[in-house]
Chain A
Amino acid sequence: MSTSWIRSAIRMAPILVVLFVVVELLVTNELAGFGRKVAEADRSIEAVSEENQLLNEKIASLSSLITIDQKAREFGMTTTPVVITMGGEDVAFHLQP
C-alpha cells in the first residue's frame, strides 16, 4: 500500500513541479504588472502635483495686486487722485434741530 503511494507520488512529482513553475510564472507576471501600475500611479501623482503647483503659481500671479492694478488700468480705470472728506457742518442740506 505504502509502496504504491510512494510510486504514484514520484510519478506526480514532475507534474507538480511544472504546476508550481506555471503558478510562479503567473504570480510573478501579475506582480510585475502590478508594480508597473504602481509606478504609473506614482508618475501620474507626480505629474498632477507638478501641474497643481504650476496652477498655484499662475493663480498667485494673476491674483496679485500688481496684476490686478495693471489690468484695471488697461480697462481704463484710474485711481482717484484726491479724496475729499466733509464733516457734518459742510453738508449742504444738513438738518439739525
Chain B
Amino acid sequence: MGRIWIVFSILSLLYALLVVRLYYWQVIRSSSLRLAAASQYNLTLPLPSQRGSIIAFDGKNVVLNQSAYLVFAESKKIVSIASFSDSVAPILEKESKDLSALLSDSSRVWVPIGHKVEASRVDQLKNLKLTGLGFEKEPKRYYPESSMAAHLVGFVGSDENGKDTGYFGLEGFYNRELAGKDGELVIEKDIRGAPILIGESHRVEPEDGRSLVLWLDRTVQRIVERRLSEGVAKYGAKEGSIVVMDPKTGGILAMASMPSYDPANFGEFSREFYKNPIVASTFEPGSIFKVLIMAAGIDAGLVTPSTMADEPGPIRVGEYFIRTWDDKYRGMISMTDVLVHSSNVGMVFVEKKLGREGMLKALHNFGLGEFTGIDLQEEAAANLRKDSEWGEIDLATASFGQGIAVTPIQMVRAVAAIANGGSLVVPRVVKEIRDMTGKTFAMKPGKTRTVLSPSSARIMTEMMIAAVDRGEAKWAKPKGYRIAGKTGTAQIPVSGHYDATKTIASFVGFAPADDPRFIMLITLREPSSSPWGSETAAPLFFTIAKDLLSYYSIAPE
C-alpha cells in the first residue's frame, strides 16, 4: 500500500511540475516568445509619416518638407557589388570601397546606403537602372526663408534610434504634434530573410503630423532681423535680442537673436547657439524694470505721477550708497520725472513706500521667478530668491532692476500688462494647429491674472510716454506718434561684482500707446559705441518702430 502511495506522490509531483512548466512557457514567456516568433517569420518595414509644416501668420510656409529619399540596396539582388559600388558611391558622395564593404556583409539583406538624398540625385541613381537599388520616401526639412527665426523654429535632428526628432523652439516643443505617427508594413519572410510574395502582409498606414500656424509675421520678422543685424554692427554689441509681441493676445509677432544659426545645417554651428536667449537666458534688466515697481506703487495707491520725492544726493541703504546714473541730483522731483530722468534714488523712495511685503507682492504678481508658459522648448525661469532671503539692500536695488534676473520674455510679458490694461498674458507662438484633413484647433490666448487696474495701467502708460518724450532718447523718437517706453542700462555681474565697463543696454516700449499694436523689447549685450541704452537700444527701437508703424499703415497724429 505504501509503495502505491509513493508512486502516486511521484506521479502527482511530476504532473505539478509539468503544469508549472507549461504555465511558465505559455503565460509568463508567451509575449516574448510571440515576439521572437514574429521576428523569425515577419519582416517589418517602417512607413514614415510626413512631418507637419510650420506656417507664418500670412499662410506662407516657414518650414516645410522637401522631397528626399532613403536609398537602400538589396545585397542579394545585386549582380556585382564592386561595379554597383563604383556607380552609386560618387552620386552619394561616399567611398566606393566603404560601400562595397557594407554590401558584402552577408547577414544583411536590406542595407540603407543614403539618408535624405535629394530628388535630383535620386534621378541620377534611377538612370543607372541597377538591380538591387531601391528608394523610400524620407522627407527632410526645407526652409524657404533660409535661417529666418531659427531660434524660434528649432531644428530636426535624429534621436538615438536614428528617427527624426525636433529639438529646441517649436520643433522641440511641438515634436509630438509635428511628427505624426509612423506606419509599418509587416510581411512574411523566408528562411533567408527574403519576403514571401504570396505570404500574409499587414499594412498600417502612417498618420502625417499636424501643421502649426504661427502668430509670427514674416515681414515683421524680416524687419526685426535686418535691423538687429545692422544695430549689432553699428553699436558694436556682442549679442542682441529683439522680441515683438501683441500685448493684447500675447501672440509673438517676431523674435530674433544674434548670433544665430542655420537650422538646415545646425551641425555646422556650436551648440551654444541653439538655445533661444529670449526664453532661455537671464539678465539683470536695469532701468526698464522701474516701470514695473512704479506701476505697483501707483496700483497700490501709494504714489501718483505728481507725488514728490526728495533727491538731495546719494541715498544710504544699510552700508551702501545708491547714486543716480549720471551722479546728478535734482532735489524734489515728481514720480513722472523719476522715470524721465531714470532716478535710482527716486525708485528707492517708491520701494520704501511699497515696503517689503508690497515689493515682494509686486515681483510675484508680475510673474517673475515663474515660467511664462510660452510654447517653446527651452524656456527657463530665473529663480527669485526666497521671500525670507531678501535683505534691505536687495529690495532697494531690485527697485531699479539690479540684483534681480529675468528672461527677456518674462520682462516683455510683465510690461505688456501695462500696455493691455492690466492683464498678465501667456505669450504664444502658435495660433492654431491644423491636421492633415485641414481641421484647425485654435490656441486661445491665455491670461494668467489681472495685475493692475485699467486706470493704473493708463496712468503708467502716460508716465512712460513722458519718459520717451522728455527722456534721454527723445531725439530718436518718430514725431507725431505717442510711444510709451523706457530705456535701461544694466551693469553685468562678473565674479560677484559689477563690471563698470560692461553693460546690457535695453529698451522696452509699445506703440501706438493708446491702442498698442505691438510691444517690443530690445537688449544689446556689451555695446562698444556707448554703454547707454538711450544711445544704442533706444534708437534701434525707434528705427524698428518707424518700420512697423509704416507697415501697419498707422499714420502720425
Contact surface of A with B, Cβ cutoff 8 Å: 50, 53-54, 56-57, 60-61, 63-66, 83, 85-88, 90
Contacts and interface: CB of A to CB of B under 8 A. Distances in A.
Sort A-B residue pairs by CB-CB distance and give the 5 closest, nearest first.
A87-B480, A60-B144, A64-B144, A87-B479, A85-B478
A65 B478 CA distance: 26
Contact of B481 (A54, A85, A90): A85
A53 B67 contact: yes
B557 A61 contact: no
Contact of B65 (A53, A61, A83, A85): A53
Contacts of A54: 67, 119
Given A54-B119, A85-B479, A86-B480, A60 B556 contact: no
B64 A60 contact: yes
B370 interface: no
B334 interface: no
A66 B145 contact: yes
B51 to A, nearest CB: 12
B426 to A, nearest CB: 29
B142 A86 contact: no
A88 B66 CA distance: 52
A88 B481 CA distance: 10
Given A53-B66, A54-B67, A83-B546, 14 more contacts: A53-B65, A54-B119, A60-B60, A60-B144, A61-B144, A63-B60, A63-B144, A64-B144, A64-B146, A65-B148, A83-B547, A85-B546, A87-B556, A88-B557
Contact of B67 (A50, A60, A61, A86): A50
B219 interface: yes
Nearest to A46: B137
Contacts, number: 57
B219 A57 contact: no
B61 interface: yes
A75 B547 CA distance: 22
25 contacts: A53-B66, A53-B67, A54-B67, A57-B67, A60-B60, A60-B61, A63-B144, A64-B60, A64-B145, A65-B145, A65-B219, A66-B145, A66-B146, A83-B478, A83-B550, A85-B479, A85-B480, A86-B479, A86-B556, A87-B480, A87-B557, A88-B480, A88-B556, A88-B557, A90-B480
A85 to B, nearest CB: 4
Interface string B62-79: 001111000000000000
Contacts of A63: 60, 144
A50 B145 CA distance: 22
A65 B481 CA distance: 28
B57 to A, nearest CB: 13
A86 B557 CA distance: 9
Contacts of A66: 144-146
A86 to B, nearest CB: 6
Interface string B141-152: 010111010000
Contacts of B218: 65
Contacts of B556: 85-88
A57 B480 contact: no
B115 interface: no
B222 interface: yes
Contact of A65 (B139, B222, B549): B222
Contacts of B549: 85
A64 B222 CA distance: 11
A90 B139 CA distance: 57
Contacts of A85: 478-481, 546, 549, 556
Interface string B100-142: 0000000000000000000100000000000000000001001
Contacts of A53: 65-67, 139
Contact of B64 (A57, A87, A88, A90): A57
A58 to B, nearest CB: 10
B62 to A, nearest CB: 9
Contacts of A88: 480, 556-557
Contacts of B61: 56, 60
A27 B197 CA distance: 21
Contacts of A60: 60-61, 64, 142, 144
Contacts of A87: 479-480, 556-557
B64 A56 contact: yes
Contacts of B64: 56-57, 60
A63 B219 CA distance: 12
A55 B148 CA distance: 22
Contacts of B547: 83
Nearest to B139: A53
B551 to A, nearest CB: 11
A64 to B, nearest CB: 4
A63 B144 CA distance: 8
A80 to B, nearest CB: 9
Contacts of B60: 60, 63-64
B223 to A, nearest CB: 10
Contacts of B479: 85-87, 90
Contacts of B550: 83
Nearest to A65: B222
A54 B61 CA distance: 14
B231 to A, nearest CB: 15
Interface in B131-189: 139, 142, 144-146, 148
Nearest to B58: A63
Contacts of B219: 65
Contacts of B66: 53, 57
A63 B142 CA distance: 14
A73 to B, nearest CB: 14
Contacts of A65: 145, 148, 218-219, 222
Nearest to B550: A83
